[in-house]
Structure 1
Amino acid sequence: MWIIVDGYNLIRQWPELAMLDRADLQSGREALLQELRGYQRAKRHRVTVIFDGRERGGISGGTEKAGGIEVRYSRQGETADEVIAQLVAKVGAGAVVVSSDREIQAAARRHGAAPLPAEEFIERIEASRIAALKGGDEDDRPQKSGKGTAHRLPKRERREERRLKGL
């Protein structure tokens, strides 16, 4: 599975990282990459993080590797949202796109990728970290009883659910 992350969107949805980001952009980025490296080690997914190059401190464009995480910066005159949309158009259904930005979520759906709000991804990362410490499965959440009115999600939503289950 390929996880494409809207970098600054995820940082600013994560209270601890948002504090670091307000003090220093580089600190926020480094803290995010550290969290993602731990998650990637545990889950073995391909992870690409996209940042706006203009927020990088004047340097724009480029790709680098940071401990197994691919990091891309948008070029001058281009936004991270545009880079994400282009990447999702190439990858399509093989991707999960992490962002709380509605436009990015819509672009992901248009190309068959599964959108995942930043808040939900943060919960998954934290659950994975706790599971690693406990040595168990992070899905120790209580399951629904199955009682009540049967409701089947639309086909597109069921496909997204199946893809997200592997996270």
Structure 2
Amino acid sequence: MQILLVDGYNIIGAWNELRVLKKSKLLDARDRLIELMAEYKAFTGMRVIVVFDAHLVPGIESKKKQYDVEIIYTRENETADERIEKLTQELSGRKTQIHVATSDMTEQRVVFGQGALRKSAREFEIEMLSISTDITKKVKHIQEERPSAKIPLSEEVAEIFEKWRRGMK
């Protein structure tokens, strides 16, 4: 099994698209990161856990699942780095490979010492852009392969059928 641990605010601060969103609304940047991680999970099959620091959103620790991505908000006075280090130790096993996405060099060294593989935010952004391109190509290919209709219809007849389907006269 492969697991990706993502330092949420570190990635938001590093990726161009997310950094722009963060300037106007942090919540939008977090939501977009989670959407992107759902795409990543669907494409790679890896288990994805995104960790957000509590110091930017004070409150009690919480865990939730959104789009099949696990999201952890650390408890107050606990950093995402600390939680990622704990998760790396807890989840490590003979059949488990952990990857950690962060540009925090200290964090990279610590998790690497625990046996995890590290991805800088830049490397991860390049990988995500490549995956997005691959997804777009696959969708386009599927759409081109699928026949539009079993019976060829003139445009006029197709328009009439479409109006009927929508309940219009």
Deviations 1:17-68 (A, max 9, x none): 1111122111110010111111111111100000011212x32311110110
Q: Aligned partners of 2:136, 2:77: CA distance in 1, in Å?
A: 43
Aligned residues: 135
Q: Which residue of 2 aligns with 1:84?
A: 84
The aligned runs of 1:102-113 (5 Å cut-off) are 102-113=105-116
Aligned to 1:165: none
Runs of 4+ in structure 1 deviating by more than 6 angstroms, as ranges, are: none
What residue ranges of structure 1 are gaps of 5+ in the alignment? 137-167
Q: Give the structure 1 partner of residue 129 of structure 2.
A: 126
Q: 2:60 is matched with which residue?
A: 60
Q: Deviations over 1:100-124 (max 9, x none)?
A: 1011101111110001101101111
Q: Which amino acid aligns with 2:32?
A: A
Q: Deviations over 1:52-93 (max 9, x none)?
A: 11212x323111101100000111111111111111122236
Q: Residues 1-167 of structure 1 correspond to what in structure 2 (within 5 A)?
A: 1-56=2-57, 58-92=58-92, 94-135=97-138
Separation of aligned partners in 2, 1:64 and 1:22: 25
TM-score normalised to the size of structure 1? 0.77
RMSD (CA atoms): 1.4
Task: Tell me if the contact between 2:41 and 2:47 (Cα under 8 Å) persists in the aligned partners.
Answer: yes
Instruction: For residue 2 of structure 1, give the secondary structure of its aligned residue in structure 2.
Output: strand
Letter in structure 2 aligned against 1:82: E
SS at match of 1:122: helix
SS at match of 2:56: helix
Q: Which has the larger radius of gyration?
A: 2
Q: Which consecutive unaligned segments of at least 5 residues does structure 2 have?
A: 140-169
Looking at structure 2, the residues matched to 109 and 40 of structure 1 have their Cα atoms a distance apart, in angstroms, of 22
